[in-house]
């Protein structure tokens, strides 16, 4: 599940949802919805998340 990979990468990077939101320009609620699987991110959002977390985008799909 994509959301679980985002959560795992975020936690591994020791980042909160709030901090990822600040770094990416996304709302914390949006990140929460993606991580829980209630929202599917666009390609642009995936790129923003990967950049904020500090991982290549492909890591979020492995």
Tokens standing for 21?
């939101």
Of 18, 35, 36, the closest CA to residue 27 belongs to: 18
pLDDT of residue 17: 98
For the record, the structure tokens of 23 come out as 């770094």
Query: Which pLDDT band holds residue 52 (cuts at 50, 70, 90)?
Result: very high
Distance, CA of 1 to CA of 26 (rounded, Å): 20
Q: For a pLDDT cut of 70, what percent of the chain falls above it?
A: 100
Overall pTM surpassing 0.85 (yes/no): yes
Average pLDDT over residues 21-33: 98
**What percentage of the chain reaches a pLDDT higher than 90?**
97
Chain-wide mean pLDDT for the chain?
97
Instruction: Specify the CATH number of the domain 2-61.
Output: 1.10.260.40
Answer left, alpha or beta for residue 37, where phi above 0 means left and psi between -120 and 50 means alpha: left
């Amino acid at each position: 599940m994509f959301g679980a990979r985002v959560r795992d990468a975020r936690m591994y990077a020791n980042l909160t949802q709030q901090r990822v939101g600040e770094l990416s320009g996304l709302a914390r609620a949006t990140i929460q919805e993606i991580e829980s699987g209630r929202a599917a991110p666009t390609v642009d959002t995936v790129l923003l998340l990967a950049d904020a977390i500090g991982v290549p985008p492909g890591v979020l799909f492995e």
